[in-house]
């Protein structure tokens, strides 16, 4: 069975490698692209019309991407034969304008560059999500009748996958709430929401379990801003099993098992707010085996100025925040270390690249979140190198020509590209007489590390061998093998990084996580391939069970990622 698993992964590797050959050379000269010059990446247009705005986006372990929008957004690119209640959609004028006669969710096949429509039964606008240990996407909350919904999508290899609604419901309405996978037993915490100051678990411990009040959400609510500037709180799982919660400008470490605040951290310096509708973003920086995964550091970037929401309603768009803060949340000393991005930014997405660097992409320079509340699109991605010295961490990458404003998303693909989609700051799908038309084009940003001049240094044909673990995954703390080929001698800095892909929406990437794993040994086998023995994460606190993308990074040049599963059973 283990050999079958290895051969299956090898076949997938060949498929991805063949697809990667289609990617244009991004090791371009300055003359090829004009002023941006070498090292700033490249943009691809993949599709002219996704049919549905990618307000929410998530990568599955079957190498497909789920994109979905609010069900009340109006006609989309995919008509349905029947409404959710079973009533037939006719060719009448009313039915052509009826949102319920259209698909508002699609599945994008990375290899085939094709879209397949899916069906949402309740409105997922402003919902949250987490992947479970078997790769199923758990999706919670939303708008209106969808605010207490629990939905599941289990990826499969045929066209019969679709959303399923649970008969169980959330205890509270959750619109603009956040999700975080917890260690073990596929348990998820759902926290916050519009005028909701509680959290709850899915699944429940018992039939009678409801929600739990969280005073921190009351304390961080801004009564002068619609939404309170504490929606979509930033959640990060610390390696001690506690939960880091950031809302507005404040943060705590929370013991979700005992309903107790463990630490109250200092307020992030400066004015303005960071959470929706101010819409900054956050990541937990890569965890590293060299310190036993004990150092946990979070980063928060961007957001809106104080009073931005009210000002936008009056037609004034205040300059966004340029500042970023980093803070170690483990240990006993806690201080925000501040630095500035190259420019102001909000509505931005922060993604961990396969190299461990951070990409800041999408967004605007002024205003705040909400319909038509932002101006001055941020067209240039920023690259942030966490391990460089202060003052040399940020660089500006190649600009896109497509504005990605409110309701846009971005995710990292297994081949190293960044999939970018969405933007609909309007009521329904408006394309005329608006500051920023609804955007249905699908792009990929191709980072500099994918240039052909690096192919000789790039690990290729990566395969994962579970050994005696069987085909279901690797148990915590156990060894597994990674085989790959190199056209040159490996550098002294070969890394084995595993990445939990997030569920992204509204500038928040829920459950995003990277770990730098320990390599116990690495030798060149008789057939010329490199044979590495790698150690799985030590516990579910460090890496909740499930699928991760494993990338071999040789001297800063990443391989195509392969899926690996960590399990506690």
Query: Which of 352, 375, 378 is CA-nearest to residue 363?
Result: 378
Are residues 74 and 19 part of one domain?
Answer: no
**pLDDT of the residue at 32:** 26
Are residues 494 and 555 part of one domain?
Answer: yes
Are residues 561 and 495 part of one domain?
Answer: yes
The reply to whether 320 falls in a domain is no
**CA 471 – CA 563 distance, rounded (Å):** 12
Residue 525 pLDDT more than 50?
yes
Q: What is the pLDDT of residues 9-27, one digit of tens each?
A: 444 444 444 444 444 443 3
The reply to whether 492 falls in a domain is yes
Are residues 537 and 466 part of one domain?
Answer: yes
The reply to whether 480 falls in a domain is yes
Q: What is the pLDDT of residues 144-187, one digit of tens each?
A: 999 999 999 999 987 679 999 999 999 999 999 999 999 978 99
Are residues 79 and 14 part of one domain?
Answer: no
The reply to whether 258 falls in a domain is no
Domain count for the chain: 2
Query: Which of 95, 96, 115 is CA-nearest to residue 106?
Result: 115
Q: Find the DSSP H helices in 128-272.
A: 215-219
Are residues 6 and 81 part of one domain?
Answer: no
**CA 382 – CA 361 distance, rounded (Å):** 7
Count of beta carbons in the 10 Å neighbourhood of residue 58: 27
User: Residue 492 belongs to what domain range?
Assistant: 2-23+452-567
Are residues 78 and 6 part of one domain?
Answer: no
Domain boundary among the residues 102, 121, 153 is at 102
Are residues 77 and 17 part of one domain?
Answer: no
* Per-residue three-class SS string for 37-89: CCCCCEEEEEECCCCCCCCEEEECCCCEEEEECCCCCCCCCCECCECCCCCEC
81 burial type by CB count under 10 A (0-12 exposed, 13-18 middle, 19+ buried): exposed
- Tell me if 129 sits within 8 A of 107, measured CB to CB: no
Residue 530 pLDDT more than 90?
yes
Are residues 478 and 535 part of one domain?
Answer: yes
The reply to whether 544 falls in a domain is yes
**CA 309 – CA 268 distance, rounded (Å):** 20
The reply to whether 487 falls in a domain is yes
The reply to whether 504 falls in a domain is yes
**pLDDT of the residue at 383:** 98
**pLDDT of the residue at 487:** 86
Domain boundary among the residues 102, 118, 148 is at 102
**pLDDT of the residue at 475:** 94
**CA 166 – CA 203 distance, rounded (Å):** 11
H or E element at residue 2: helix 2-20
Are residues 474 and 559 part of one domain?
Answer: yes
Q: What is the pLDDT of residues 239-282, one digit of tens each?
A: 999 999 999 999 999 999 999 999 999 999 999 999 999 999 99
Buried b (16+ CB within 10 A) or exposed e, 280-299: bbbbbbbbbbeeebeebbbb
Calculate mean pLDDT across residues 497-522.
98
Query: Which of 313, 369, 408 is CA-nearest to residue 194?
Result: 369
The reply to whether 242 falls in a domain is no
CATH number at residue 551: 2.60.40.10
């Amino acid at each position: 069975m283990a050999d079958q698993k290895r051969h299956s992964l090898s076949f997938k590797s060949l498929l991805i490698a063949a697809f990667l050959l289609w990617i244009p050379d991004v090791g371009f000269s300055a003359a090829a692209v004009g002023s941006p010059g070498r090292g700033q990446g490249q943009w691809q247009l993949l599709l002219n019309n996704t049919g549905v705005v990618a307000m929410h986006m998530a990568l599955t372990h079957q190498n497909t991407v789920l994109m979905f929008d609010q069900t009340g957004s109006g006609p989309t690119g995919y008509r349905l034969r029947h409404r959710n209640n079973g009533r037939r959609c006719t060719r009448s004028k009313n039915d052509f304008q009826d949102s319920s006669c259209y698909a508002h969710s699609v599945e994008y096949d990375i290899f085939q560059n094709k879209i397949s429509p899916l069906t949402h039964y309740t409105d997922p606008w402003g919902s949250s999500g987490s992947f479970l240990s078997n790769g199923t996407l758990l999706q919670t909350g939303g708008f209106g009748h969808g605010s207490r919904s629990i939905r599941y999508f289990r990826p499969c290899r045929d066209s019969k996958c679709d959303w399923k609604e649970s008969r169980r419901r959330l205890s509270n309405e959750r619109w603009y709430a956040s999700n975080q996978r917890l260690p073990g037993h596929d348990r998820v915490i759902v926290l916050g929401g519009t005028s909701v100051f509680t959290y709850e678990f899915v699944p429940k411990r018992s039939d009678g379990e409801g929600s739990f009040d969280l005073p921190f959400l009351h304390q961080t609510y801004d009564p002068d801003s619609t939404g309170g500037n504490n929606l979509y709180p930033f959640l990060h799982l610390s390696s001690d099993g506690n939960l880091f919660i950031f809302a507005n400008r404040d943060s705590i470490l929370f013991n979700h098992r005992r309903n107790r605040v463990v630490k109250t951290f200092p307020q992030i310096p400066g004015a303005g707010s960071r959470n929706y509708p101010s819409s900054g973003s956050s990541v937990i920086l890569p965890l590293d085996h060299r310190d036993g995964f004990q150092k946990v550091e979070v980063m928060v970037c961007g957001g809106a100025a104080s009073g931005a929401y009210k000002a936008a309603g009056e037609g004034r768009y205040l300059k966004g925040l340029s500042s970023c803060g980093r803070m170690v949340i483990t240990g006993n000393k806690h201080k925000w270390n501040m630095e500035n991005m190259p420019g102001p930014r909000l509505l931005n997405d922060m993604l961990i690249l396969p190299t461990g660097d951070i990409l800041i992409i999408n967004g605007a320079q002024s205003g705040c979140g909400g319909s038509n509340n932002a101006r001055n699109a941020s067209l240039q991605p920023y690259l942030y190198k966490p391990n460089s010295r202060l003052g040399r961490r940020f660089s500006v990458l190649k600009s896109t020509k497509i504005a990605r404003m409110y309701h846009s998303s971005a995710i990292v693909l297994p081949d190293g590209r960044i999939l970018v989609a969405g933007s609909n700051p309007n009521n329904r799908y408006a394309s005329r007489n608006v500051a920023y038309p609804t955007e249905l084009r699908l792009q990929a940003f191709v980072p500099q590390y994918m240039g052909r001049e690096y192919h000789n240094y790039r690990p290729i044909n990566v395969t994962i061998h579970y050994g005696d673990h069987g085909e279901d995954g690797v148990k915590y703390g156990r060894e597994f093998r990674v085989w790959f080929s190199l056209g040159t001698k490996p550098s002294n800095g070969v890394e084995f990084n595993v990445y939990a892909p997030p569920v992204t929406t509204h500038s928040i990437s829920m459950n995003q996580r990277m770990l730098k794993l320990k390599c116990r040994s690495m030798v060149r086998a008789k057939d010329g391939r490199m044979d590495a023995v790698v150690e799985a994460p030590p516990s579910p606190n460090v890496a909740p069970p499930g699928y991760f993308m494993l990338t071999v990074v040789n001297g800063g040049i990443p391989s195509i990622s392969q899926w690996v599963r960590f399990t506690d059973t």
